[in-house]
Amino acid sequence: MSGEGRVVCVTGGSGYIASWLVKLLLQRGYTVKATVLDPNDPKQTEHLLALDGAKERLQLFKANLVEEGTFDSAVDGCEGVFHTASPVILSTDDPQNVLLEPAVKGTLNVLKSCSKVPFIKRVVVTSSIATVLFNGKPLTPDVVVDETWFSDPAFCKENKIWYAVSKTLAEDVAWKFAKENGIDLVTLHPGWVIGPFLQPTINLTLEVILNNINGAQIFPNENLRLVDVRDVANAHIQAFERPSASGRYCLVARVTHFSEVWRLCMNTTPLWDFQKASPVILSTNDPEKDLLELAVKGTLNVLRSCAKVPSIKRVVITSSMAAGAVNGKPLSPDVVVDETWFSDVAFLFDPNSSPPPISNLIPTFLCAGAQIFPNENLRLVDVRDVANAHIQAFERPSASGRYCLVARVTHFSEVLRIVHEHDPTLLLPER
């Protein structure tokens, strides 16, 4: 359906979902009246004014959620209103003023303004999956969550899930007001919204990701109900345009563990400093802090967590050849190193001993301008084979104990020769 000649309002137009909604509405030919807190703030407006069609069909209005009548001019002349504006904050010391009052009063103020415009056909409110999930019921894999579920405000308050409280109370007053005033209302309940950003400011999704990147030691052991922001924006338009749309709609594309989200982010931006399972460092002035404590405590913490879950069948740990081959024994060509070997901790602490080379050493070595290469052998294995070995170790019932993963033993000079074949421009040491 074309939006040409049709006028709609989007509240909180500078937000994550709203920015995409404005973009898609303009693409469909709608004239959009968007509200922002401060039309003179370029962080709230520049990305909207740069959208295709904005110059001809986008109007910006100043509005404050807690001020009654503030949305009157924005909704006047509209046939549809999308109410997306609401504070998105997970933790606060003042939930009443920071979350509850703006969410509830804001929703009522928008609907009161809409009730003054008789030709508004429908109001679409952006709610949240948080108004559905939190009622104390167990969320086991066999449980189906749908639009008939409602979060329990008392349960949410008891557990200090203040964002869920704010959205639940706001939805409740929305349905009551709509019923009493004859407003055609549809509420949408997206899960954890991901996808590209149009606005320059940080929202909750990016804030949580950045928190993990910027030094958080752990991520939550929780599942996320993911949905793409573009699908959420399009769902708003469908909820307005389709006459048959009514009631509540949950917007979730997939359920994914937090760890999978970090993996996806890592694939997108591998240089980010993500939480690592165990540090890989060859040299440090503080081995206790930088290596030993993290590796040992980290392993224990994982296993303690596993011990609490009886359904876990097996734990596969990524160790290293460094845990087996460094014990002071001579590594002559006739010596067979296998899983019965264990490195000697006392030998490793000897300042005259040297650590075995690892993969991270090679690119650093090449870029540092070294004149000579170490007269040592490397025990090489392809990372894809290592990953597959982890899966085999889990899937095969007969797997047990320790396994050494080495494809070939190669001298450093051979590694440099292979590297030189791939990139002859590299200035490599010749001795």
Select which of 112, 160, 167, 176 is catalytic. 167
Taking phi first (over 0 means left), then psi (-120 to 50 degrees means alpha), and beta for anything else, what does residue 195 get?
A: left
CA 191 vs. chain centroid, Å, equals: 12
Phi then psi for residue 210, to 5 deg, are -65, -35
Taking phi first (over 0 means left), then psi (-120 to 50 degrees means alpha), and beta for anything else, what does residue 87 get?
A: beta
Contact 353, 347 (CB under 8 A): yes
Mark whether 160 is an active-site residue. Answer: no
Cα–Cα distance for residue pair 25/310, rounded to 1 Å = 50
Taking every pair of Cα atoms in the chain, the longest distance, rounded to a whole number of angstroms, is 91
Question: DSSP labels for 64-80?
Answer: -TTSTTTTHHHHTT-SE
Contact 138, 126 (CB under 8 A): no
Q: Which amino acid is at 40?
A: N
Site of tokens 């937090």: 258
Which residues does 308 contact at the CB level (< 8 Å), separation at least 6?
none
Contact 130, 88 (CB under 8 A): no
* Catalytic positions, written as ranges: 167
